[in-house]
Chains A and B, each alone.
Chain A
Amino acid sequence: MNRFRLVSFLILITMSCSLIAQNPFFSGGGKRDTSRTIEMPGRQQESDGKASIVAMCKYKLTAIQRDLRDALYQQKERAGSLAGKLYALLLVFIYGFIHALGPGHGKVFISTFSLSSGIKTMRAVLGGALVGMLHGIAALLLVVLLRLILKLPVTRSSELIRSHVEVVAFVILLIIGIVLLIRSIGAKYHEHSRASFWGLVLSIGLVPCPGAVMITLYGFSVLQNPVFTVVMVLTMGMGMSLAISLFALVPSLLRNAGFLANRNVWKGLSIGGAILIILFSSLYLIALL
């Protein structure tokens, strides 16, 4: 019952706060939002060296995402046939996977929790999968709500709501981090609260994925096939789930590799994980607010 109350509370908070936009095109409300002006790094602030291998990989991932999106868009002519639909689903699945491999989706929170808590591997993986599916479902519901029910401009409104939810999610993550820290300091060797984990999963997952918003709009407006749109978004969610689950699975396997039999190491890791969650969520909130 307590767990249910906590989860309900987190959802309520997530759905009800002020709006902050992040899409650089859509904040400002008809004038420059100078409070959020970001200085472009000049040449003098750039690193001298060439891009590293990691940077080149990130660049490649970006290029692949673009190619997949282009290929999916070209499928609009063939989307009436079964083969066309299946190919489109394959593309959105891979797109979802690659998209979620890139920066974001709160993978660091999932990884940190998975590594530093005593949560079971299967539960960590399911949590990661749920984040991916929720990202897609939240996007789908958002578009349906804005376009079909409220008849509002989708792009601008969805960005406002999404970024608003993101801010609230970070507040929740901060609270979860603090709770974990307090518990870790006085804790014996035991699992972190499951409610904290599912709270973390929900707060990350309820942030609608803008990529999934675009796929939803594509399905509704270009393909004009609502049922297939739902299937596409869920398939993209499965792709994201696979990627995010990997980020839950690997730390969990490492943790269970036998290094953590010692209680002090365990405690140190739990405290360290909680501090990291606090640190990451605080940094992001500071950047947003």
Chain B
Amino acid sequence: MNDWGSGLRYQRLISILAILSGSFALSAHPHTFIDYSAKVIIDRGGFRKIEFGWLFDEYFTESIVMDYDMDHSGVFEGAEIKAIYDEAFINVGCYNYFLALTLDEKPVTIDTTMNFSAEIQGDRMLYRFTVSLPETSAKQLTIMSYDPTFFVFLEMKSLDDLTMEHPQGMKCDVLTDERSIEFEMYGELPVKEYIIILGSSHE
């Protein structure tokens, strides 16, 4: 009995170690950091699209510049942007562009993006792209952005990075919340959620 008791104790210990070590992946995460911004476009019918900006860290920027600024001009031009789109952006669609969006609590799947651009701003690179939202009369939009594999860490640095463009006379409130998300193999982490509500009490 004693043996079994000790054995179980050690099994538990192994489990705890497994959890403490975070995962069984062979390379630690995250490796890329993005400060993201969002501009929500609203018309009389409701939420229409969101223009996102991803400002990458200096290291990822350096690696992309090295590989894609072929003429070393310090500016990404036509063919270079196309190559970046094809080789270093489009696949993020497999991860819903790191976006968990809902309209009146219903999840939004993003099939494609529009107006992709990549530019260098000092030591950092900025991707811009636009996401169209399905035409609904939804009154509430929620935005969370994270990479479920935790390879990339996305963060909105300040609430100033979330802006709204809406017709005159229309009001909207922005609330923030923090949700606990289960990441693939890395367990739970807190993620900021932004809730935009149309037709608030201010209206």
Within 8 A of A (CB), among B1-32: 2-3, 6-7, 9-11, 13-14, 17-18, 21-32
Given contacts A214-B59, A284-B24, contact A272 B87 (CB under 8 A): no
Residues of chain B contacted by A210 (CB below 8 angstroms): 27, 31
Given contacts A41-B100, A66-B57, A221-B66, contact A156 B88 (CB under 8 A): yes
Say yes or no for A49: interface residue by CB 8 A criterion: yes
Is A51 a contact partner of B189 (Cβ separation < 8 A)? yes
Is A73 a contact partner of B21 (Cβ separation < 8 A)? no
Given contacts A23-B151, A276-B18, contact A106 B57 (CB under 8 A): no
Say yes or no for B99: interface residue by CB 8 A criterion: yes
Binding site secondary structure of chain B: mixed
Residues of chain A contacted by B68 (CB below 8 angstroms): 153
Interface-located stretch among A4-12, A189-197, A227-235, A262-270: A262-270
Per-residue interface assignment for chain B, residues 152 to 174, with 1 indicating a CB less than 8 Å from any chain A CB and 0 otherwise: 11000000000000000000000
Interface-located stretch among A81-89, A109-117, A178-186: A109-117
Residues of chain B contacted by A112 (CB below 8 angstroms): 14, 17-18
Distance in angstroms between the alpha carbons of A153 and B190 in the assembled complex:
34
Is A155 a contact partner of B64 (Cβ separation < 8 A)? yes
Distance in angstroms between the alpha carbons of A207 and B26 in the assembled complex:
7
Distance in angstroms between the alpha carbons of A136 and B107 in the assembled complex:
41
Closest to B149 in A: A24
Say yes or no for B86: interface residue by CB 8 A criterion: yes
Is B91 a contact partner of A27 (Cβ separation < 8 A)? yes
Is B180 a contact partner of A51 (Cβ separation < 8 A)? yes
Residues of chain B contacted by A106 (CB below 8 angstroms): 24-26
Distance in angstroms between the alpha carbons of A25 and B151 in the assembled complex:
10
**Using a Cβ–Cβ cut-off of 8 Å, how many residues does chain B contribute to the interface with A?**
73
Closest chain A CB from B10 CB (angstroms): 5
Closest chain B CB from A50 CB (angstroms): 6
Instruction: Jot down 29 A-B pairs with beta carbons below 8 A, ordered by A.
Output: A22-B151, A24-B91, A25-B32, A25-B91, A32-B91, A33-B91, A42-B100, A44-B105, A47-B180, A55-B188, A58-B186, A58-B187, A59-B189, A66-B33, A69-B57, A69-B59, A103-B25, A105-B26, A108-B21, A111-B14, A116-B14, A156-B88, A209-B28, A211-B28, A214-B60, A217-B63, A265-B10, A269-B10, A272-B7
Binding site for A on B (CB under 8 A): 2-3, 6-7, 9-11, 13-14, 17-18, 21-33, 57-60, 62-64, 66-68, 86-96, 98-100, 102, 105, 107, 123, 142, 144, 147-153, 178-182, 184-190
- Apart from the given pairs A40-B107, A62-B189, A103-B186, 16 other A-B contacts in the complex at a CB distance below 8 Å: A25-B89, A28-B94, A30-B90, A32-B90, A40-B99, A41-B148, A51-B190, A55-B189, A100-B28, A103-B23, A104-B22, A108-B18, A109-B24, A154-B63, A169-B26, A264-B3
